[in-house]
C-alpha cells in the first residue's frame, strides 16, 4: 500500500513539474502556472497527509478480542492453579480463605481479571 502510494505521488509530482515547466516566453499567463502548481501541491499534500494520518503506526497489531486465548505451544506445561476457573460454590476453602477478583498475568494475553482463591 505504501509503495504504490509513493509511486503515485512521485508520478503526480513529475506530471505537475512537466506541466509547470516554461516552454516559450509567454508573459500572458504567468499566474496560471503558479496557481496550477500551488493547487496541485495542496491536492497532493492533502492526499498524502490523509493516507499517513489514517494508517496505523508501524509494528502495530490490534489486541485480541476479549475472551480469546491462543492455544499453548506444543509441549507447554499446564498453567498454574490460579489460572484455572474457580471450583463450584460448594467447594471447600481452606480456613480463612475466600474467592476474590484479582488482576493476574496470563501468558500470551497480558493482564486479566480472574477469580482466584485468596488466603491471608
List, run by run, the mean pLDDT of 10-residue segments along the chain (120 residues).
68 68 63 82 90 78 72 72 60 76 85 83
Please choose, from the candidates 36, 12, 33, 35, the residue with its C-alpha nearest in 3D space to the C-alpha of residue 23.
33
pTM for this model (two decimals): 0.29
Q: Residue 112: name the closest of 70, 16, 104 by CA.
A: 104
> Cα dihedral sign for 84, 88, 93, 98?
positive
Can you give the pLDDT at residue 76?
74
Residue 75's pLDDT is 78
Note whether 109 and 81 are within 8 A (CB).
no
Amino acid at each position: 500500500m505504501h509503495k504504490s502510494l509513493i509511486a503515485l505521488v512521485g508520478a503526480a509530482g513529475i506530471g505537475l513539474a512537466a506541466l509547470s515547466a516554461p516552454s516559450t516566453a509567454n508573459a500572458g499567463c504567468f499566474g496560471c502556472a503558479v496557481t496550477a502548481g500551488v493547487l496541485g501541491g495542496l491536492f497532493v499534500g492533502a492526499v498524502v497527509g490523509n493516507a499517513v494520518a489514517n494508517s496505523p503506526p508501524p509494528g502495530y497489531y490490534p489486541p485480541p478480542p476479549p475472551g480469546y486465548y491462543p492455544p499453548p505451544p506444543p509441549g507447554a506445561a499446564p498453567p498454574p492453579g490460579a489460572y484455572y476457573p474457580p471450583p463450584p460454590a460448594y467447594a471447600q476453602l481452606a480456613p480463612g480463605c475466600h474467592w476474590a477478583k484479582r488482576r493476574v498475568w496470563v501468558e500470551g494475553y497480558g493482564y486479566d481479571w480472574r477469580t482466584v482463591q485468596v488466603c491471608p
